[in-house]
Amino acid sequence: MLRFLDAGESHGRCYVGIIDGIPAGVEIEMENINRLLKERQRVYGRGGRMEIENDEAIILSGLRGRMTTGGPIGLMIENRDYENWKDFMSPIDGIKGKGGVTVPRPGHADLPGILKFGFNDARNILERASARQTVIRTAIGGIAMEFLRQFDIEVKSHVCSIGGIVSKPNGKDKSFWINVENSLLRCGDKEAEEKMRAEIDKAKAMGDTVGGIVEIIVERVPAGIGSHTTWDKRLDTRLAAACMSVQSVKGVEIGMGFKTAERYGSEVHDEIFYSENGFYRKTNNAGGIEGGISNGEDIIVRCALKPIPTLLKPLNSVDIRSKMSAKAHVERSDVCAVPAASVVLKAVVAWEIAVAFLDKFCGDNIDEVKNAYEHYIKRLNFG
């Protein structure tokens, strides 16, 4: 069973993660992991925090000579900004200076967290709830991507829209993906990218924030990953839950998604054909998953992200101590998290695909997994 646990706070000393269940013998290229972290960090719409940080994953255990040992993989990402916050974020020393937050932000975990845990300071909530946590999720997902590369499974993502500006995706065109990788907005449509940039600038000038939609595509996943047998083994269940766990995500759809509610069945379901190469479809409205099981087509997931709840022109709120009306707390924040989220969600989806993959093709070392996989592919090809 592949699983992970992470710990850390936004302005704490570091984030740490423990991954359990990666087979022995998987080569991990840390350059790929750290490149993914840089993709998350160096995008348009970010705030001043990203000028301070230099996100880099440090492996603590579970690798030797770049190869996994089969033991738990420990990794850490330091928060350089901790030096500026240590007086009131130290886990051991007494709290010094001003760091308390008594006016919760609408749309954030501040107030529900205060009520749940009985605090009179939202700092204890917002530090863990912060989207800064996605830095370790990205690194953990990067490990999963290294595993999936052993089986030629590739995970891609791009920004579909920001605010009301919608791109025209062309995922079959290689130049589209080159544009995505070269874009600070991770958008493959250059014309839409300029309009998106202007929309972010407009929101910033107004002291506001803006959301959008991200698409994740997983290529070359074989049919048979996931299961219809129980609700928690369904691949779409896992993907939707994992994506919804990412801060600011408010909706997830797979394939045609919500548009299927507006169509007749004959317009939605992908007809099945057969050739000497096996079963195939001419359309992929299902997004590569039917009945909770991958069907061999590309897996397509889209996530809608709300605007970040920290506004430079704060909304009305209430001071939790005085119970008097007040403007919400202002914390240093991004204007638009959508481009960064496209990287995070790519990593999150990769993790869930790896979990489901290892559920089917389990083994203590990578050769055992490959043998099980190759045997299964032969059965699919020859019946």
CA separation, residue 121 to residues 15, 102, 107, 292, 326 (Å): 22, 5, 17, 42, 15
- The angle formed by the CA atoms of residues 20, 21 and 26, to the nearest 5 degrees, is 110
Torsion of CA 361, 36, 136, 355, to 10 degrees: -10
Is residue 46 annotated as involved in ligand binding?
yes
Write out the two tokens for 138. 């990205």
User: How many H helices and E strands in the chain?
Assistant: 12, 17
Which letter does DSSP use for residue 230 in this model? Answer: S
Is residue 141 annotated as involved in ligand binding?
no
Q: Nearest-CA neighbor of 8 among 89, 71, 122?
A: 89
CA separation, residue 239 to residues 136, 212, 243, 342 (Å): 18, 19, 6, 15
Is residue 150 annotated as involved in ligand binding?
no
**Phi, psi (rounded to 5 degrees) for 300:** -125, 120
Is residue 186 annotated as involved in ligand binding?
no
Is residue 134 annotated as involved in ligand binding?
no
Is residue 332 annotated as involved in ligand binding?
yes
Is residue 307 annotated as involved in ligand binding?
yes
Strand ranges, E, within the chain: 3-8, 14-20, 58-61, 63-64, 67-68, 73-78, 154-162, 165-166, 212-219, 249-254, 272-275, 278-281, 289-290, 293-294, 299-305, 316-318, 325-327
Is residue 342 annotated as involved in ligand binding?
no
Is residue 308 annotated as involved in ligand binding?
yes
Is residue 40 annotated as involved in ligand binding?
yes
Q: What amino acid is encoded at 373 in this protein? A: Y
Is residue 333 annotated as involved in ligand binding?
no
Is residue 128 annotated as involved in ligand binding?
yes
For the chain, how many residues are written? 383
Annotated binding site for NADP(+): 40, 46
Annotated binding site: 40, 46, 128-130, 247-248, 291, 306-310, 332
Annotated binding site for FMN: 128-130, 247-248, 291, 306-310, 332
